[in-house]
A and B are shown apart, each in its own frame.
Chain A
């Protein structure tokens, strides 16, 4: 079977993120324009410049894992196991005890930084108590591929597995690469997604030093304001999202519910700077163009874009320019764009997966989620950002952008099942 004969669809969703501990509560909050940002409780933030983040509240790993397992996993892997458990159940798939079927199922999972809680804990032990006291599980907890590895162990996924580590584009790459595995005919089902849990003092301090974070500490829920003139940096989030990708014929044959199709995948490199996007957006534009072409569409076919929209000055200005280049001025003027990071904060390596999930729900229900905290227009950001209030509208094709430090640009396109 040749490439593109096989179409890839989404048949299961799961998530744990600052807006909710499951898909429907997350989507309800996103439609209502709820902010998940608040004062940092994960550590004593009195010494860091930024004192706010979008934390996952009330997460109990024991809802998904035995105590013995949970204590061997970093928070970021626990998040991913929770999201994947939901997604597999949603898809009606369970490979535990079925080794024959399990070899046809793989997993690709993105993470930006990996198990930083465990890394810091291990380093603290080393400094305070010496090398002989460093926990033997430190390495397996901190490596960024353990979400992929442990998902395979927990859910008996014995097919191809990989970990994408392209910073804030990581889980968009995971979904795109997983779709490619199905398109190539290697497997019928892939567990794809991403996770991040790095709300630790060290990471906040480091992002503060690079001037990337918002310091609007006195107004946490107003701090993440993508495309608004008063934006002053991103707000760190945490969480995970999982999408079950499946060969369309395979899904139809078993009568699965199809949410949407993964129709396009594009990526490019800025080849420019470690943190800054290439000015003018030429690099980001090429990723979007490639995705549109891959989907067999024209730029004007895109109804909704879930923007990378970090709420940094540089990203939002550049992404706006790139959308105009990729779609053309007229189509760019017509497309509904929102940054759900205004509500969820920035999940870094988990962002692409969560935003893909929100695109899928936007298609399902015909609702574009809003960009909240959009008050003052920026002359450099002059497109339709679905300000503050969700918009009911038919969405056949949705694009999700994800850009990572190092210059990684990824665009994914999701289409309605009958589009």
Chain B
């Protein structure tokens, strides 16, 4: 899967699964501070990512995710 495609699907998930405003989403946006995604929202997002990209993201890898870019990098790495 191309990186651009991953990024676009990622944005779609943030809008459809978390109800976020698409205009606020950019690679540097921080989940908690900028997008107001709380801990429950992060769990929802990870589950959606696992479903969408058919990957497994262990809790310890998810704990350090702060920005949209970091989450995308993680998915890209998983898809190898």
Interface residues in chain A, defined as those with a beta carbon under 8 Å from any beta carbon in chain B: 66-72, 132-133, 135-137, 140
Cβ-closest chain A residue relative to B56: A132
Are the C-beta atoms of A136 and B19 separated by less than 8 Å?
no
The minimal Cβ–Cβ distance linking A143 to chain B, given in whole angstroms, is 14
* Cα A135 to Cα B45 with chains together (Å): 10
Are the C-beta atoms of B40 and A137 separated by less than 8 Å?
yes
Chain B contacts of A67 at CB under 8 A? 19
* Cα A136 to Cα B18 with chains together (Å): 12
Q: Give B25-56 as 1s and 0s: 1 = Cβ < 8 Å from A's Cβ atoms.
A: 00000000000100010011001000100000
Interface size class on chain B is under 10
Are the C-beta atoms of A68 and B20 separated by less than 8 Å?
yes
Are the C-beta atoms of A68 and B18 separated by less than 8 Å?
yes
Q: Closest 3 interchain pairs by CB?
A: A68-B19, A67-B19, A136-B43
Cβ-closest chain B residue relative to A71: B19
List 17 extra interface pairs beyond A70-B19, A135-B44, CB under 8 A.
A66-B19, A67-B19, A68-B19, A68-B36, A71-B19, A72-B40, A132-B47, A133-B47, A133-B51, A135-B47, A136-B40, A136-B43, A136-B44, A136-B47, A137-B40, A137-B44, A140-B40
* Cα A140 to Cα B44 with chains together (Å): 13
* Cα A66 to Cα B19 with chains together (Å): 9
The minimal Cβ–Cβ distance linking A137 to chain B, given in whole angstroms, is 6
Chain A contacts of B47 at CB under 8 A? 132-133, 135-136
Cβ-closest chain B residue relative to A134: B47
Chain A contacts of B40 at CB under 8 A? 72, 136-137, 140
* Cα A157 to Cα B20 with chains together (Å): 26
* Cα A385 to Cα B40 with chains together (Å): 51
A-B contact pairs, 22 of them (CB 8 A): A66-B19, A67-B19, A68-B18, A68-B19, A68-B20, A68-B36, A69-B19, A70-B19, A71-B19, A72-B40, A132-B47, A133-B47, A133-B51, A135-B44, A135-B47, A136-B40, A136-B43, A136-B44, A136-B47, A137-B40, A137-B44, A140-B40
The minimal Cβ–Cβ distance linking A342 to chain B, given in whole angstroms, is 39
Chain A contacts of B20 at CB under 8 A? 68
* Cα A136 to Cα B48 with chains together (Å): 12
The minimal Cβ–Cβ distance linking B19 to chain A, given in whole angstroms, is 4
* Cα A135 to Cα B50 with chains together (Å): 13
The minimal Cβ–Cβ distance linking B51 to chain A, given in whole angstroms, is 8
Chain B contacts of A70 at CB under 8 A? 19
The minimal Cβ–Cβ distance linking B77 to chain A, given in whole angstroms, is 21
The minimal Cβ–Cβ distance linking B37 to chain A, given in whole angstroms, is 9
The minimal Cβ–Cβ distance linking A131 to chain B, given in whole angstroms, is 12
Chain A contacts of B43 at CB under 8 A? 136
Chain A contacts of B44 at CB under 8 A? 135-137
Cβ-closest chain B residue relative to A137: B40
* Cα A68 to Cα B36 with chains together (Å): 10
Chain B contacts of A137 at CB under 8 A? 40, 44
